[in-house]
Amino acid sequence: DGGITQSPKYLFRKEGQNVTLSCEQNLNHDAMYWYRQDPGQGLRLIYYSHIVNDFQKGDIAEGYSVSREKKESFPLTVTSAQKNPTAFYLCASSGGQDSYNEQFFGPGTRLTVL
């Protein structure tokens, strides 16, 4: 089954701790993205990557970091510098034999910082 997986589904962390969210895709997509959704708001782009070993900041990159060492994987680290980390995080990918404009989303990770 081709798709995007995010783990874990729910994540709890203490304030001041860094936490890494996993995102894996087997769609052979070149591009991958991280979004954040807050209640009553749309999705906001955190980081994106069009090719391996290259990534760009999105609209709200402060307090986050990413890596793209493999085509299939695009982990997101929420650092202690992120002021409001509690949110629903969504990973997406596009490209390959599909349109680059049409992004496919994973199931999301809900991060709660206590």
Residues found near another protein in the complex (CB under 8 A): 4, 6, 31, 33, 35, 40-45, 48, 50, 58, 88, 90, 92, 94-95, 99-108, 110
Q: How far is the CB of 64 from another protein (least distance, A)?
A: 16
Nearer to another protein, 2 or 18 (CB): 2
- DSSP-derived pairing of the beta strands 19-25 and 10-13: unpaired
Nearer to another protein, 53 or 101 (CB): 101
Q: How far is the CB of 99 from another protein (least distance, A)?
A: 8
Where do we find the tokens 């209640």? 39
Measure Cα distances from 4 to 24, 67, 90 in Å. Answer: 6, 17, 10
Q: How far is the CB of 31 from another protein (least distance, A)?
A: 5
Nearer to another protein, 5 or 18 (CB): 5
